[in-house]
């Protein structure tokens, strides 16, 4: 018999090949699905086969799920399909993957379809052959599952038969003893109790899977049986007493009751076995039940309870799609959904969470993004409404144990949220160890002192939350608590951060390397003492810790981290040069003029292989996130990151690192990124540009491209700086604040950074194909204009417009620049197709498709030339600033041009009527919000609102 592992590996290889081929074919067919029924049928076949192969792979990977003979039959069938799969793979290699759909590309695909139809037909014939083999394999699997389930059921019935007879004999003995020592009424109660207890013990000992509905049935039948026995008992006792003399009453009546009880018990046990067998068989058979050729299995949870098919988030979004409900609160949404009968307050989704869970998670997410705007009283109203329908809040598996745990551990509550905490306590919620974090000890103390009845904390968690130094010392002295012990979801050393005395006590018990995130947590708590204690104890220090330290409100923390980073790398370099052969440390890139940086893991591993003892704190490797378990082995990742890449470091800190020997300014890290490609996430615009200029001054090449891509660094600098600016502005509390924030960011630019920004806006450092969108080359500004603009809310739209207006103000006041800007915006609003690279620098059209696209949009390109030429001549004649011309002239004319002879759709008519507008001129029809003529000057929107 062949090795099961080799058999599974052989099947896995064939299935992997099949999935790869089918996934590529599905993508290919999707592009032509709308043009011919053949392509649509082929896409359905490929989708079904892909699901089937995934199902077979899941079953075969379970070594004990299928017996060896059946598994070998399935593998033989798959190996017979290997030739067909190789033919399909060869065919799919010759066909290109179509790009993402757009209006012009759809026309191109329609034109190219007749040339590629034969390839689809050949693939369909091969799929039919493959379908036969897969159907046979599914049949073998289904037969195997059915036989296994039948054998298991027969074996269980035989085994339980003997046990049932033994239990019946025991029950008869108990019933007869009760009859002899109790009266008729007490006899009836004892029989019912013994019967129920015996049946429950019998099911637990036998480990029979029984649905809850059957338990309810058993309880109701017990009640009916007890009532029937009461009537029989009463009738029989009266009848016997009438027939027999006093003192000579026999036990015939109780024996008849015993016989009835035994008969009822036997029937009930047979019913339990029947239901249990059916349930076990359905669970086994669900593995092989499929829809068409896909591997969709019946979930076992459907056997036990009904789960609402609705997604609560989707229901809320659909409710707010109606403009009338857009501004309504969550409370109004819940009232509508409950009162209309769509869902009930107690309904759960397939993930096991309720509507209240969804609203709590949503509110906590909002409180994290907008802490100043979050109002906990809104959720308090929602919770009070839920409590009218549901039982008191207890525990919930969808959250961290309880609602109060989830709220306290995630929201980092302030005093304004204490009423909500009190209401959660009144509703029955409580806190456990999972509520405690290093950031909320003050909140836990508030609950301990004011709501003691809602506190279920261990002694260790209580001592840390209350910052009780004596209690913590006693726990440590008795060996009940160590630094790396898990309390809730945190290690003990992490929970005491921000409490220097607690940190000092627990560090004395640290026998393993400390968690890799300790420095980050201490920096977020702005606790310099905790950071110093951790560094002295040898806590790991990684490159991203410097980024965390730069965001601390205590500036001494980042200074301390930078100095410690340099000191540790100097020690690692000295160890390598002292203990490794010179040829070895030179081959690792170690020298006296620079520090180990990106090569630090290789240097550390080389020292360990030589048997040299190196302190744990010099280990530059990052601990894996999978090493949180109690006593588990720590796993390290060979990744350090470029410290110059980290966001938040000021120019002074970068200079200190560079002067100390961190000179890898333009060396890519493990992910292929260079310093100019990142580090912009938390900076204001002034610092972003200063950082980029510093990198270039130290030797970074702004023309460098990412491995496998063609986008220059200048594009990344401009894109990232503008994106972070828009993102920060969209989080402001009002439109006025967002506009002022962006204007201030541009106004604070010094002369050097302003000139640098102007230089990179129109810098053409890309030698790609040109298209009609731009005659000035593929500049950062050109690629930014065509970047998708997702209008999440009104603030995001304002942020995009205000950023673009400030960029246009920086443009040189010349006709060449104005013509390039007008051409770019006009090209986008005409919805023409680019044949030049996109934002990533990759062109997704091949030569044949490019020619088809150019031919299809010939009329649109002619309109582009006419509109651009007319607007450029108008700009030269007016002698006004570019921004004013774009807003007052080009935007208005472009909106009117796009709306000529346009018919209103039913959706547009409904939206206009909802706004209260009856007689609306065609020139005031709302346009697409992504059109630049609307973004820069929303004339149409203003007309409708007015």
**CA-CA distance, 300 to 562, in Å (whole number)?**
55
Q: What is the pLDDT of residue 941?
A: 45
Cα angle 416, 421, 424; round to 5: 145
Q: H or E stretch including 883?
A: helix 882-885
CB of 592 closer than 8 Å to CB of 574: no
Pick the more confident residue, 274 or 329: 329
With 80 as the cut, is the pLDDT of residue 893 above it? Answer: yes
pLDDT winner (highest mean) among 392-406, 735-749, 902-916: 735-749
Name the band, by pLDDT with cuts 50, 70 and 90, for residue 239: very low
* Residue from 762, 655, 765 nearest 704 by CA: 765
In this prediction the pTM is 0.59
Q: How far apart are CA 432 and CA 833, in angstroms?
A: 58
Beta bridge partner(s), residue 594: 591
Whether 810 and 754 have beta carbons less than 8 Å apart is answered as: yes
Asked whether residue 656 carries a pLDDT value surpassing 90, the answer given is yes
159 pLDDT tier (thresholds 50, 70, 90): confident
More confident call, 862 vs 368: 862
Q: Which of 119-123, 307-311, 561-565 has the lowest mean pLDDT?
A: 307-311
Contact between 908 and 926 under an 8 Å Cβ cutoff? The reply is: yes
**Residue scoring higher pLDDT (255 or 451):** 451
As a whole number of angstroms, the distance between CA 588 and CA 603 comes to 7
Judge contact between 395 and 432, C-beta under 8 A.
no
Quote the pLDDT of residue 466.
Answer: 94
**pLDDT single digits (tens) 608-623:** 888 888 888 888 887 6
Q: For 186-233, give the DSSP string.
A: HHHHHHHHHHHHHHHHHHHHHT----HHHHHHHHHHHHHHHHHHHHHH
| Mean pLDDT, range 89-108, rounded to an integer | 58
Which one has a higher pLDDT value, 920 or 95? 95
- pLDDT the model gives residue 400: 55
Average of per-residue pLDDT values in the chain? 71
Which of the residue ranges 208-217, 319-328, 355-364 would you say has the lowest mean pLDDT?
A: 208-217
Tell me: pLDDT of 302 over 50: no
H/E stretch holding 395: strand 395-396
137 contacts 78 by C-beta, under 8 angstroms? yes
Report yes or no: 705 and 712 within 8 Å, Cβ to Cβ: yes
Q: Do residues 145 and 285 touch, judged by C-beta distance below 8 A?
A: yes
The whole-angstrom distance between residue 130's C-alpha and the CA centroid of its chain comes to: 36
Label residue 812 by pLDDT band (50, 70, 90): confident
| Between 120 and 298, residue with greater pLDDT | 120
User: Does the pLDDT value for residue 539 go beyond 60?
Assistant: yes
Query: Tell me, what's the pLDDT at 31?
Result: 57
Q: Does residue 613 or residue 326 have the better pLDDT?
A: 613
pLDDT tens per residue across span 370-393: 555 566 667 777 777 777 766 555
CB of 569 closer than 8 Å to CB of 596 = yes
Q: What pLDDT shows up at residue 529?
A: 93
CA distance 463 to 246: 74
Q: Coil, helix or strand for 120?
A: helix
Whole-number pLDDT of residue 299: 34
Rounded mean pLDDT, 854-883: 84
């Amino acid at each position: 018999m062949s090795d099961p592992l080799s058999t599974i590996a052989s099947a896995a290889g064939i299935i992997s090949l099949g999935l790869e081929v089918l996934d590529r074919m599905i993508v290919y067919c999707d592009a032509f699905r709308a043009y011919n029924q053949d392509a649509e049928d082929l896409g359905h076949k490929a989708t079904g086969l892909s699901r089937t192969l995934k199902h077979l792979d899941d079953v075969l990977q379970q070594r004990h799920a299928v017996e060896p003979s059946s598994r070998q039959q399935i593998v033989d069938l798959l190996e017979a399909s290997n030739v067909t799969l190789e033919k399909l793979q060869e065919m799919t290699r010759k066909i290109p993957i179509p790009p993402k759909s757009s209006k012009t590309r759809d026309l191109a695909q329609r034109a190219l379809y007749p040339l590629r139809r034969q390839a689809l037909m050949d693939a369909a014939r091969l799929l039919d052959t493959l379908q036969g083999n897969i159907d046979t394999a599914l049949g073998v699997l289904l037969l195997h599952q059915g036989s296994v389930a039948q054998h298991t059921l027969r074996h269980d019935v035989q085994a339980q038969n003997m046990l049932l007879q033994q239990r019946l004999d025991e029950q008869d003995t108990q019933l007869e003893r009760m009859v002899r020592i109790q009266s008729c009424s007490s006899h009836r109660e004892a029989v019912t109790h013994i019967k129920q207890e015996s049946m429950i013990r019998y099911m637990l000992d036998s480990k029979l899977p029984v649905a809850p509905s059957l338990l309810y049935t058993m309880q109701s039948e017990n009640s009916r049986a007890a009532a029937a026995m009461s009537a029989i008992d009463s009738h029989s006792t009266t009848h016997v007493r009438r027939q027999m003399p006093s003192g000579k009453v026999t036990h015939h009546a109780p024996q008849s009751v015993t016989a009835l009880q035994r008969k009822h018990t036997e029937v009930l046990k047979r019913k339990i076995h029947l239901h249990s067998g059916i349930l076990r068989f359905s669970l086994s058979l669900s593995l092989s039940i499929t829809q068409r050729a896909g591997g969709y299995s019946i979930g076992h949870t459907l056997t036990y309870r009904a789960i609402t098919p609705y997604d609560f988030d989707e229901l809320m979004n659909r409710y707010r799609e109606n403009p009338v409900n857009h501004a309504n609160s969550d409370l109004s949404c819940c009232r509508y959904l409950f009162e209309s009968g769509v869902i009930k307050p107690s309904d759960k989704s397939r993930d096991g969470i309720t509507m209240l869970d969804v609203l709590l998670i949503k509110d906590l997410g909002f409180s994290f993004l907008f802490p100043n705007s979050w109002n906990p009283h809104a959720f308090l109203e929602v919770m009070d409404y839920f409590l009218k329908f549901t039982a008191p809040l207890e525990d919930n598996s969808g959250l961290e144990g309880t609602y109060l745990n989830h709220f306290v551990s995630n929201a980092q509550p302030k005093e304004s949220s204490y009423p909500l905490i009190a209401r959660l306590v009144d509703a029955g919620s409580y806190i456990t160890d999972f509520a405690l974090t290093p950031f909320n000890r003050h909140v836990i103390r508030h609950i301990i002192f004011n709501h003691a009845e809602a506190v279920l904390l261990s002694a260790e968690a209580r001592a840390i939350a209350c910052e009780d130094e004596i209690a913590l010392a006693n726990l440590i002295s008795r060996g009940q608590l160590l630094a790396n012990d898990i309390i809730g979801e945190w290690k003990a050393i992490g929970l005491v951060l921000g409490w220097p005395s607690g940190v000092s006590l627990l560090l004395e018990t640290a026998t393993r390397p400390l968690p890799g995130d300790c420095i980050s947590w201490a920096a977020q708590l702005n606790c310099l003492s905790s950071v110093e204690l951790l560094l002295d104890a040898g806590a790991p220090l990684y490159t991203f810790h410097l980024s965390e330290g730069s965001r601390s409100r205590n500036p001494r923390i980042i200074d301390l981290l930078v100095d410690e980073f340099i000191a540790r790398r100097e020690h690692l370099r000295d160890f390598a040069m002292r203990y490794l052969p010179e040829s070895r440390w030179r081959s690792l890139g170690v020298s006296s003029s620079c520090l180990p940086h990106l090569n630090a893991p290789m240097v550390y591993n080389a020292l360990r292989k030589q048997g040299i003892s190196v302190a744990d704190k010099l280990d530059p490797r990052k601990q894996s996130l999978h090493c949180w378990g109690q006593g588990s082995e720590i796993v390290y990742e060979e990744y350090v990151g470029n410290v110059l890449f980290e966001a938040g470091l000021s120019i002074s800190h970068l200079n200190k690192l560079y002067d100390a020997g961190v000179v890898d300014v333009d060396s890519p890290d493990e992910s292929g990124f260079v310093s100019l490609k990142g580090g912009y996430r938390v900076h204001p615009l002034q610092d972003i540009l200063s950082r980029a200029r510093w990198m270039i001054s130290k030797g970074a090449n702004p023309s460098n491209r990412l491995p496998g891509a063609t986008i220059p660094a200048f594009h990344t600098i401009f894109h990232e700086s503008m994106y972070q600016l828009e993102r920060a502005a969209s989080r402001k509390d009002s439109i006025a604040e967002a506009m002022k924030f962006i204007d201030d960011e541009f106004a604070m630019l010094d002369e050097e950074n302003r000139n640098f920004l102007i230089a990179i806006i129109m810098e053409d450092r890309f030698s790609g194909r040109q298209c009609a969108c731009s005659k000035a080359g593929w500049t950062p500004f050109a690629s930014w204009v065509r970047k998708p603009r997702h209008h999440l809310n009104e603030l995001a739209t304002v942020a995009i417009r205000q950023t673009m207006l400030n960029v246009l103000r920086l443009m040189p006041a010349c006709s060449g620049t104005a013509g390039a800007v007008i051409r770019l915006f006009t090209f986008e609003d005409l919805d023409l197709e680019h044949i030049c690279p996109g934002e990533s620098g990759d062109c997704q059209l091949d030569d044949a498709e490019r020619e088809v696209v150019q031919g299809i949009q010939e009329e649109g390109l002619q309109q582009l030339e006419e509109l651009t030429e007319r607007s450029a001549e108008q700009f030269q004649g007016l002698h006004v600033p570019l921004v004013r011309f774009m807003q007052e002239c080009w935007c208005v004319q472009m909106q009117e041009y796009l709306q000529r002879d346009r018919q209103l759709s039913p959706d547009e008519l409904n939206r206009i009527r909802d706004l209260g507008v009856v007689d609306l001129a065609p020139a005031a029809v709302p346009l697409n919000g992504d059109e630049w003529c609307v973004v820069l000057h929303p004339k149409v929107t203003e007309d409708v609102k007015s």
